[in-house]
């Protein structure tokens, strides 16, 4: 078994209303010094060793991310 992490983020040119809401709340809560914040999704998968990188790429592209508006990164973690 391997642990795989997939991070999905809105593309840079796509508006990120969730991140903007958080960024707007920070000064109201007294936190200064955060220039920008963007919010995406974080997936943690437990996969068999038979699952190769190409399969992980297809899983991310078809199910975890919307490739029109989101970028994603895949990394295997040390178990």
Residue ranges binding its own copies (CB under 8 A): 1, 7-9, 19, 22, 25-26, 29, 31, 33-48, 50-51, 55, 58-59, 62-64
CA distances from 35 to 12, 24, 32, 38, 63 (A): 15, 11, 9, 11, 31
- Rounded to whole angstroms, how far apart are CA atoms 75 and 18? 25
For the bound state, the minimum distance from the C-beta of residue 13 to its own copies, rounded and expressed in Å, comes to 15
Tokens representing 13? 């040119």
Residue closer to its own copies by CB (options 50, 78) is 50
Question: Minimal distance in Å, beta carbon 22 to its own copies?
Answer: 6
């Amino acid at each position: 078994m391997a642990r795989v992490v997939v991070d999905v983020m809105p593309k840079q040119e796509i508006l990120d209303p969730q991140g903007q809401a958080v960024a707007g709340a920070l000064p109201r809560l007294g936190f200064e010094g955060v220039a920008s914040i963007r919010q995406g999704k974080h997936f943690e998968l437990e996969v068999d060793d038979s699952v190769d990188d190409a399969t992980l790429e297809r899983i991310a592209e078809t199910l975890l991310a919307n490739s029109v508006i989101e970028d994603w990164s895949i990394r295997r973690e040390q178990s």
